[in-house]
C-alpha cells in the first residue's frame, strides 16, 4: 500500500517514517544472503515490486540494521516525533513501533484533575486547540472557568458537583484505583497514540499526592503529568526518548522495582546499561544540554523534570 502523493510505503494508513523518502522495500537476493533489506534506490534492485503489508513491516523492522539508509524517529516529552540527531545513541530498539505510534502535540487530550492548577497557570501550549478536554471528577470546573468545551467528566463522580446537564458523565467505579489512574487507563484505551497531558494535580490529600507517579505505572500510561514544580512521565521500555531541557534542569529517575537503563545522556551523571532499583539513586541528576536522551529496556520508570525557572 502506498501514499499516492509521494509513492511512500505505508502500514495501517500511516506513513512509515523509518524509510527513506520515495523508496520501496523490496524482497531480493540479499534476503537469503546477508539479511539486509534492499531498497529500490540500490543498484542491485531491478525495479519496484508490490509488497504486502506484512512484507513491508517485516522488511522495515529488518532495515533498522542498515543504519546508513534508515532514519529512525524518536519522541520528545510532548509526544512529537523527530529524527535521531548525529551523536545520539545508535541502538535501534524498535524504530517501527516508535515512529508509527508517535503522537503529535496537535490534537492532544487535555485532562483536568480536581487539585490545584500551577500558580502561573496552565502552560499556554496545552491550551492551544486540544482535540479532547476531559474532567477527572471535579476537575471539569477548572476547564469550564477557562472557557474550554469539556467533552466528558470521568471517575467515580463522588465529588463532581453540579456539572451542566449536557456534560457527558462516564462512571469509572473501581475503588481499587484512584480517579487519576482510572482516567489514564481510559485514555490509553480510547485515545491510543494520542498525546495526553494532565493538569490540576497539586494540593489535596497526602495519599493522593504520593500515588500520582504510581498512577502512570499502574495505567501503563504515556501521559505527561504537569505539576507546580515540574512534570512527570513514564519511560516505557523499548523506546528512545528525548526530553527537552536546559543546562541545570533537575532530572530525576524514579524506578518501581528493578529497571535497566540502556542509555542516559545529556546529564551530569550519564548511564549506560545500568540497573537501578527502588530507592534514591536516580534523584538530582542535572541536564548539561538542551536534550536529555534516555532509553529503558526493562522495568517501570518515571522521569521527573524540574521547570526551567527552578533550575
> In this predicted model, what pLDDT tens digit does every residue of 208-246 receive, in sequence order?
999 999 999 999 999 999 999 999 999 999 999 999 999
pLDDT at 84: 41
Per DSSP, which regions of 18-157 are E strands?
25-26, 38-39, 73-75, 81-83, 109-112, 132-136, 152-155
CA–CA dist 11, 135 (Å, integer): 34
Domains of the chain: residue spans and CATH: 2-71 (no CATH), 103-228 (3.40.50.10240), 230-311 (3.40.50.10240)
Residue % of the chain over a pLDDT of 70: 65
Residue 79: φ, ψ to 5°: 85, 5
12-33 pLDDT per residue, tens:
333 333 333 333 333 333 333 3
Which residues on adjacent β-strands are paired with residue 295? 240, 263
pTM attached to this predicted model = 0.66
Tell me: pLDDT of 307 over 60.
yes
Place of cell 502512570: 216
86-112 pLDDT per residue, tens:
334 333 333 322 322 233 455 899 999
Is 117 in contact with 100 (CB distance < 8 Å)?
Answer: no
What's the grid cell of residue 179?
A: 480517579
What's the grid cell of residue 225?
A: 503529568
Amino acid at each position: 500500500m502506498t501514499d499516492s502523493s509521494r509513492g511512500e510505503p505505508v502500514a495501517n494508513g500511516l506513513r512509515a517514517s523509518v524509510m527513506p523518502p520515495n523508496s520501496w522495500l523490496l524482497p531480493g537476493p540479499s534476503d537469503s544472503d546477508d539479511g539486509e533489506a534492499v531498497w529500490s534506490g540500490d543498484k542491485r534492485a531491478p525495479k519496484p515490486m508490490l509488497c504486502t503489508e506484512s512484507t513491508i513491516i517485516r522488511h522495515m523492522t529488518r532495515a533498522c540494521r542498515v543504519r546508513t539508509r534508515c532514519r529512525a524517529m524518536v519522541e520528545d516529552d510532548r509526544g512529537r516525533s523527530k529524527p535521531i540527531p548525529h551523536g545520539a545513541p545508535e541502538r535501534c530498539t524498535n524504530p517501527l513501533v516508535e515512529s508509527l505510534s508517535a503522537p503529535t502535540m496537535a490534537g492532544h487530550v487535555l485532562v483536568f484533575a480536581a487539585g490545584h492548577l500551577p500558580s502561573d497557570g496552565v502552560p499556554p501550549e496545552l491550551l492551544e486547540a486540544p482535540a479532547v478536554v476531559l474532567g477527572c471528577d471535579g476537575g471539569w470546573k477548572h476547564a469550564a472557568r477557562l472557557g474550554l468545551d469539556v467533552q466528558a467528566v470521568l471517575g467515580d463522580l463522588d465529588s463532581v458537583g453540579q456539572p451542566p446537564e449536557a456534560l457527558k458523565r462516564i462512571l469509572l467505579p473501581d475503588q481499587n484505583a484512584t480517579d487519576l489512574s482510572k482516567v489514564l487507563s481510559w485514555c490509553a484505551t480510547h485515545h491510543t497514540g494520542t498525546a495526553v497531558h494532565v493538569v490540576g494535580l497539586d494540593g489535596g490529600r497526602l495519599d493522593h499526592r504520593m500515588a500520582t507517579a504510581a498512577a502512570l505505572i499502574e495505567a501503563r500510561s504515556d501521559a505527561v503529568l504537569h505539576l507546580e514544580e515540574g512534570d512527570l512521565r513514564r519511560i516505557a521500555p523499548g523506546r528512545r526518548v528525548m526530553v527537552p531541557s536546559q543546562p541545570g534542569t533537575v532530572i530525576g529517575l524514579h524506578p518501581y522495582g528493578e529497571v535497566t537503563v540502556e542509555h542516559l545522556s545529556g546529564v551530569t551523571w550519564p548511564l549506560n546499561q545500568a540497573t537501578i532499583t527502588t530507592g534514591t539513586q536516580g534523584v538530582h541528576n542535572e541536564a548539561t544540554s538542551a536534550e536529555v536522551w534516555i532509553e529503558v529496556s526493562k522495568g517501570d520508570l518515571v522521569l521527573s523534570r524540574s521547570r526551567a525557572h527552578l533550575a
